[in-house]
Amino acid sequence: MESASGIEAALETAVASCDELGCPPRLAAALRYAVFPGGARVRPRLCLAIAAGCGDPQSPLATATAASIELLHCASLVHDDLPCFDDAAIRRNRPSVHRAFDERIALLVGDALIVLAFQNVARAFIQAPDRLPGIVLALARAAGAPVGIVAGQAWECEAATPLEEYRRQKTGALFVAATLGGALSAGADPAPWRLLGEHLGEAYQIADDVRDALATTSELGKPCGRDADLGRPTALAELGVQGAVEHFDRLIASATASIPDCPGAEFLRELVDLEAQRLLPPSLLQRAA
Amino acid sequence: MESASGIEAALETAVASCDELGCPPRLAAALRYAVFPGGARVRPRLCLAIAAGCGDPQSPLATATAASIELLHCASLVHDDLPCFDDAAIRRNRPSVHRAFDERIALLVGDALIVLAFQNVARAFIQAPDRLPGIVLALARAAGAPVGIVAGQAWECEAATPLEEYRRQKTGALFVAATLGGALSAGADPAPWRLLGEHLGEAYQIADDVRDALATTSELGKPCGRDADLGRPTALAELGVQGAVEHFDRLIASATASIPDCPGAEFLRELVDLEAQRLLPPSLLQRAA
């Protein structure tokens, strides 16, 4: 998936809008720290690829939607890392936001990023307001309760966690928003794109579990073996490495097969293949063998 | 200000939308706990009054906007009460959300309420999408960085706090969103309504400081004397009770004078007077004398 520089520029514009006179300086610095430098930006790249696949490449609307999806993702990382949840010291190879600043600032940065995600699409869609309700609803469903990231995270506070629901909400929901958001911002019907988001979200989660077990800390940018340490239920614990990789391959095949007829269908099928190789590179899998 | 039952019904609809199958039950319960029963609902009542003043009474768009403003207010209370900030045990005469549930759930409830605020207006404005960008931008500016509630709260994390900025962001911003949102949802020009929101926001903050010093814990629904205990800079510390009350009266006069020509100007002037008496009742002021 492509257009990395467009995503970074859109995120820069969004974050810079908070650097206005009157913003408390530590908050402004921490907001920037939480967003840059980023990870693989996989969700916004997916969003842009779908918009391009729908025949609307380099769309400023899709770019804004993509940036907002990444802002919601960054918000969830900052809040998940807090002491009351993962108490993670390291994120993206450096101190997590609450370690680099403090817990109070990290709480507020997450809040501000959620707000900024909605503000950012509202600014962009002034030119196409009829598409804004759908975009806001797709982002909100992926981010909040009852079935978005917040809900997924809240399953960690229940006595029993339904594993599929947990994964679908905590990881899958934002992938679905990325495919729906890409289609919506291109003015296309979003419904045929839901399945692709669901399959890719699940595949990504499995790849994450496998990498958590097999990769090194510096490859991950955060401590590895963390799932096992926290006693989290993972695909690996359920299926073993070999089984997890097979499940991943099946999900990627389903994702490819789900791509609906559209101007860029062939291009999207190739992108999904490339992304699968990036997520679980052969060199990593050899380590398991 | 009026239409209390409409506000409660709109809040009920918004919160009930999170009660869908798949929502972690403790999160759903805590969301409801954070919103009901409410306080005076002063911000949403203000929003509805402005829409009515603009000639659009009982508007479902204004009611949705009013509910979203209250959801953002509730979110800020839940996060301000957390151990890393005020560590408040009591809110609205019963345990705060993190005491009644736990810190993790309170963190997520705040996040979910912010998301819900935007989702709620997006749902309502599907019928009038050209008004949605303005509404989302008004809500976002009041809630986030650089100059909204989050920014105001973040001044508590700086070595020095510029008092006026702090108050304007932490309290004033959402009052401004209430007046702008009322006008915007009625299809009116929001600009002439900004000053009313600013004056009322400041007056409300002063009244809050005075009540914190003079009222009893059960009247407040939370421990009184809290500002003094936390060493917070307040109008009272600056001006004394008599000076603060005089400043309050001047702000109310300015608020009344700022009301622009509109179908309901006279009605709004009366409402501001009634609200001023509710905020600082003569019986409370006699205690100071």
pLDDT score at A231: 72
Distance in angstroms (rounded) separating the CA atoms of residues A198 and A202: 6
Provide, as residue numbers in chain A, all residues whose Cβ is less than 8 Å from the Cβ of B75.
Answer: 111
Mean predicted lDDT score pLDDT of chain B: 93
Distance in angstroms (rounded) separating the CA atoms of residues A161 and A86: 16
Q: Which of B142, B280, B273 is CA-nearest to residue B206?
A: B280
Q: Identify the DSSP state of B36.
A: S
Q: ipTM of the assembly?
A: 0.96
Q: Which residues are CB-contacts of A233 (< 8 A; sequence separation ≥ 6)? A: A161, A163, A166
Report residue B129's pLDDT band, with 50, 70 and 90 as the boundaries: very high
Residue A243 has pLDDT above 80, yes or no: yes
pLDDT digits (tens, 9 = 90+) for A222-233: 777 777 777 777
CB B170, CB B149: distance < 8 Å: yes
pLDDT digits (tens, 9 = 90+) for A196-220: 999 999 999 999 889 888 887 777 7
Q: Using a CB–CB cutoff of 8 Å, tell me whether A45 touches chain B.
A: no
Cβ separation B129–A126 shorter than 8 A:
no
**A30, closest residue in chain B (CA to CA):** B154
Distance in angstroms (rounded) separating the CA atoms of residues B242 and B208: 14
Q: How crowded is residue B210: how many other Cβ atoms within 10 Å of its Cβ?
A: 24
Find the CB nearest B105 among A20, A75, A154: A154
Q: Using a CB–CB cutoff of 8 Å, tell me whether B217 touches chain A.
A: no
Cβ separation A133–B122 shorter than 8 A:
yes
Cβ separation B115–A116 shorter than 8 A:
no
The continuous run of DSSP H or E covering B268 comes out as: helix B265-279
Q: How crowded is residue A133: how many other Cβ atoms within 10 Å of its Cβ?
A: 23
Report residue A147's pLDDT band, with 50, 70 and 90 as the boundaries: very high
Residue B139 has pLDDT above 70, yes or no: yes
Distance in angstroms (rounded) separating the CA atoms of residues B161 and A230: 39
B154 vs A26, A36, B157, CA distance in Å? 8, 20, 5
Find the CB nearest B19 among A17, A143, A146: A146
Q: Which residue has the higher pLDDT, B41 or A213?
A: B41
Residue A256 has pLDDT above 90, yes or no: yes
Q: Using a CB–CB cutoff of 8 Å, tell me whether A37 touches chain B.
A: no
Residue A1 has pLDDT above 50, yes or no: no
pLDDT score at A118: 98
Q: Using a CB–CB cutoff of 8 Å, tell me whether A29 touches chain B.
A: no
pLDDT score at B280: 93
- List own/partner pairs for B32-37 with CB under 8 A and 24 or more apart: B33/B97, B33/B100, B33/B101, B34/B74, B34/B75, B34/B77, B34/B78, B34/B97, B34/B109, B34/B110, B34/B113, B35/B11, B35/B70, B35/B71, B35/B74, B35/B113, B36/B8, B36/B11, B36/B12, B37/B92
| CATH class in words for A4-288 | mainly alpha
Residue B3 has pLDDT above 80, yes or no: no
Q: Give mean pLDDT, residues B106-122.
A: 98
Find residue B95's DSSP bridge partners: B90
Cβ separation A19–B112 shorter than 8 A:
no
Chain A with chain B: Cβ pairs closer than 8 A = 202
Provide, as residue numbers in chain B, all residues whose Cβ is less than 8 Å from the Cβ of A133.
Answer: 122-123, 125-126, 129, 132
Provide, as residue numbers in chain A, all residues whose Cβ is less than 8 Å from the Cβ of B85.
Answer: 104, 107
Cβ separation A19–B146 shorter than 8 A:
yes
User: What percentage of chain A exceeds 70 in pLDDT?
Assistant: 98
pLDDT score at B213: 84
Q: Give mean pLDDT, residues A259-268.
A: 95
Q: How crowded is residue B273: how many other Cβ atoms within 10 Å of its Cβ?
A: 13
Q: Using a CB–CB cutoff of 8 Å, tell me whether A165 touches chain B.
A: yes
Q: Which of B136, B137, B166, B169 to mutate to test the interface with A (most CBs of A within 10 A)?
A: B136
pLDDT score at B127: 93
pLDDT score at B217: 75
Provide, as residue numbers in chain A, all residues whose Cβ is less than 8 Å from the Cβ of B132.
Answer: 122, 129, 132-133, 136
Four-point Cα dihedral B16, A196, A150, B72, nearest 10:
-60
Distance in angstroms (rounded) separating the CA atoms of residues B53 and B264: 4
pLDDT digits (tens, 9 = 90+) for A93-122: 999 999 999 999 999 999 999 999 999 999
User: What percentage of chain B exceeds 70 in pLDDT?
Assistant: 98
Report residue B288's pLDDT band, with 50, 70 and 90 as the boundaries: confident
Q: Give mean pLDDT, residues A48-63.
A: 95
Residue B233 has pLDDT above 80, yes or no: no
Q: Using a CB–CB cutoff of 8 Å, tell me whether A103 touches chain B.
A: yes
Find residue A91's DSSP bridge partners: A94
Find the CB nearest B18 among A110, A145, A155: A145
Q: Which of B170, B144, B187 is CA-nearest to residue B50?
A: B187
Q: Using a CB–CB cutoff of 8 Å, tell me whether B232 touches chain A.
A: no
Q: Using a CB–CB cutoff of 8 Å, tell me whether A6 touches chain B.
A: no
Q: Which of B155, B189, B160 is CA-nearest to residue B172?
A: B155
Cβ separation A122–B129 shorter than 8 A:
no
Provide, as residue numbers in chain A, all residues whose Cβ is less than 8 Å from the Cβ of B31.
Answer: 145
Q: How crowded is residue B139: how many other Cβ atoms within 10 Å of its Cβ?
A: 29
Q: Using a CB–CB cutoff of 8 Å, tell me whether B116 touches chain A.
A: yes
